[in-house]
Structure 1
Amino acid sequence: MIWERLPLGPLQTNCYIIKNERKECLIFDPGGDGDRLLKLLRSRQYTPLAILLTHAHFDHIGAVDVIREAYKIPLYIHKNEEKWLEDPSLNGSQFFMMGSLTKVKSADRILTDESSLTIGSFNLEVMRTPGHSPGSLSFYIKDNDIVIAGDTLFQGSIGRTDLPGGNHEELLNSIHTHLLSLPENTLVLPGHGHETSVEEEMDQNPFLNGF
């Protein structure tokens, strides 16, 4: 299984494409530039199986409908943010996009409690990691030692908590309870910036010291 990082949309949000040897893939957080993403998928001859969202802020969902309609695949999101997809006041586009509102059609699969999720040959552990937003999720792929963490944990930083539904204490608890409990060699794929590792953030992240 191989992963690709593709920064997309107005805030260059990291979209991740996780593929297997048959070129089937999962798409995480397609934040914008739908035509560009579609062109890449077609040029690589990938077969997308699903779109999964770490959360529903506008910069993570902008290309959802373009890809979903092109491939007729389901969209997964946590129940706490299912209404955010169609509401610019919740997904933030009303406040940040200067008149360009982001609306996405309803999700096909609603995730609730933490669970294991199998899509084709992909096995994922779905972890609830609220704090940046109330429905934030992280997706751990044990077989490949990676976790798609959205805007929960970054290289040398953590997610902001000053947006609606954010909670700083809850965010720190999510990071320590779930992300930092993973094996230290786990690669963390964040929503913005470069990848890091559990070990690196345990040792060097100044926001996590003294928690």
Structure 2
Amino acid sequence: MKLCPDRRMSIRMIAETVNADKETVRKNLHDKLNMKKVCAKFVPKTFTPDQKLVRQQICSDFLERLDEDSELMENIITCDETWIFQHDVETKRQSMHWKTPASPRMKKAKMSKSKFKAMLIVFFDINGIVMTEWSPEVLTTLRERVRKKRPELWKNKSWILHQNNAPGHNALSVKRYLAARGTPVLEHAPYSPDLPPCDFFLFPKIKSASKGTGSSQWKR
């Protein structure tokens, strides 16, 4: 039995196409061909050929710079931002519990829209957190914080700012501000959340701890 190119066809559609009953088609698929129907694997982004080329070039350039300057990683200050919400309802993971076949399953109401939210921006380097800020207008504050917390990098003008490709980071006003003050920026590969990894090690812990917390705690 040979399948048609459309792998999304149902057993019923295949049976109608090959003029066979559904049980025969099912046995052929599962028992003889050892096939099962699964959902498409989710990936953050499917790259275009141009995006793949840019990603390769950026990574190659960075590796070359790293070979020339072994201390390059110590000069990079990267950042990421996230929205912090106030939710009184537990997350799905927080509501997990052990149960026996006889015990009833707990109920959890649908999460309502948060009454309060604030944008948290975190700047950090290889040595730790440089600055946290709740306002998107942070570049002036960041420069002052680098001067105080990383005096050697400030004195040598060797610190490099690394941002992702969010629209706010690529705004013309931001680029002009950084260029006017001689702040070098490390180029970010397209759709690469693994490079500023706050989404993996920092933000989930902050959001988990803030669930159900009164909004007044997060306001200035």
- TM surpasses 0.5: no
Q: Which has the higher strand share?
A: 1
- Larger RCO (CA under 8 A, 6+ residues apart): 2
Q: Which has the higher helix share?
A: 2
| Structure of larger gyration radius | 2
TM-score by length of 1: 0.28
TM-score by length of 2: 0.27
